[in-house]
Amino acid sequence: MEDDLVKNEEQLSAVDACIVAANDAHNQARRVGIGFYDRQDMMRTAYRNAMPRLGSQQDISDFIACVSHGMMFDYIDDKLGSKLLYAAQVAMTNLQRTPKPKTAAEKLHREETKTGLPDSSQLHSFTAYPPPPSLKRTLIANLDTDDSDGDVDGDSEDESEGDPQDDSRDDSVDE
């Protein structure tokens, strides 16, 4: 029973904060000489701005209480009120679907598995291995075929000893 009283007091305090904000806006506008309808708009805006954000379950409950109270006393019109209540429903559903890790170690493990990074128990087992022999031979072969005659275009005279009828590189145009 005591828990219900605590929840009701917290909800009332959120609603009271909205009411106080609306009344303050009304009194300030009245002192300045703003007309009745403009004061009403200012009250509604102040009421909505004082509503709690949708960050936790308690905030969502307070938000719903403020929206319900605001709809009853014409701080919030019915169309906007139904949209706000739907937003609270979506926020509550999203909050319930988000799993919360129990410890910092579980949170770290969740992040590591999400990103594909190894966990800390596997870090000591990583070793740098040399490249496979086939890759090593390929790299060495590429280094050995370097042009040492200084020919920029890669055509060295000793490479042209192949077939004289080779048409693969024919510069003449046949008509």
> Do the domain assignments include residue 110?
no
Measured CA angle at 14 (ends 11, 16), to 5 deg: 105
* pLDDT score of 5: 42
The per-type count for the chain, helices as H runs and strands as E runs, is: 6, 0
> Do the domain assignments include residue 169?
no
> Do the domain assignments include residue 152?
no
Amino acid in the structure at residue 119? D
Q: Supply the pTM of this predicted model.
A: 0.52
- The parts of the chain modelled with pLDDT lower than 50 are 1-2, 5-6, 9, 11, 123, 125-126, 152, 160, 175
Q: Which residue has the tokens 């979506």?
A: 90
How many Cα atoms sit within 13 Å of 98 on the Cβ side?
Answer: 11
Among the listed residues 39, 40, 41, 48, the one whose alpha carbon sits nearest the alpha carbon of residue 19:
48
Span 102-120, pLDDT tens digits: 666 666 666 655 555 555 5
At residue 60, the 3 state secondary structure works out as: helix
> Do the domain assignments include residue 174?
no
Domain tally, the chain: 1
What range does the domain containing 93 cover?
Answer: 2-97
**For residue 32, what are the CA distances in angstroms to 14, 22, 43, 44, 153?**
28, 16, 14, 18, 86
